[in-house]
Chain A
Amino acid sequence: MAQGARQLTLGLMLLAMAGMAQAAGFRLWSELSPQEQTALAPIAGDWNHMPAQQQEKLLKVAKGFAKLPPKQQQVLHIRLQSWVRMTPEQRKIARENYKKLLELPQEKQVQIKRRWMEASGSGLSVPASPPQETPR
């Protein structure tokens, strides 16, 4: 019985390790579903070199991709490549700054975006929505 229990313990430990590897969640491009491949098509070449954590976040983006209007799908596709080539630190800063912006009233957000576009010489390569009139 002791021998059996030891074997069961060993088996469970191996299962735990396998579970941890699964939790790490690295997936090859070829393992993605057709829907996921469509959503992440612009970064197909980068995919197999990405850390599992980044893949996991992008798969969540892929899940919401189908629900987006075609115009926004197009915008997302255009921006996806530069997004994945940013450093994790840059993506973190971007998320934090965007969150801060969203905390402001809607009118203020629009105003700030317009000012940023003006200040950066209209660095807006692909407008996701037509520029709105800035409330004065």
Chain B
Amino acid sequence: MNQQEFTHNLVRALNQSTRELDAATLARLASVRHEVVRGDNHHAGHGVLTHAHRHPWLGLVMAVGLLLAGWFVVNLQKPADTGQADILLLTDDLPPNAYAEQDFSKWLKAQDN
């Protein structure tokens, strides 16, 4: 018996058993199923915003968190740039446009060899 046949037989057996249940039991099962389904839907709506509605301080914490994250991104992610490199470049023997030429790098490599 393969997996498909086993599943088919299992479903058939369950259906057969269900048909044999008395009306009162079926009604109780239906009632419980409705309650469970309604409960699931109710819980599905409990996102962060629902909690924020019930707990206003959660919104405040989120705002502070966002603020801190933004500050870290702006200030800590970029390397320290004091402008010294630009000053050296601007006051170098060669003018900056010499360094800006696309082939300077190739030329530099050729001279280095």
Contacts and interface: CB of A to CB of B under 8 A. Distances in A.
A61 B60 contact: no
A86 B57 contact: no
A60 B91 contact: no
Given A16-B66, A97-B105, A82 B86 contact: no
Interface stretch (B9-17, B24-32, B35-43, B96-104): B96-104
A123 interface: yes
B45 interface: no
Main secondary structure of the interface of A (DSSP, over half): helix
A44 interface: no
Interface in B32-70: 56-57, 59-60, 63-64, 66-67, 70
A23 B73 CA distance: 11
Contacts of B81: 57, 60
Nearest to B92: A128
B90 A83 contact: yes
A23 B76 CA distance: 13
19 contacts: A5-B56, A9-B59, A9-B60, A12-B67, A64-B87, A68-B87, A75-B91, A76-B90, A82-B95, A86-B97, A90-B100, A94-B96, A97-B104, A99-B85, A112-B108, A113-B93, A119-B107, A125-B95, A128-B93
Interface of B: 56-57, 59-60, 63-64, 66-67, 70-71, 74, 81-102, 104-105, 107-108, 111-112
Given A93-B99, A95-B86, A120-B98, 8 more contacts: A9-B59, A12-B64, A64-B87, A93-B100, A94-B99, A97-B99, A98-B88, A128-B93
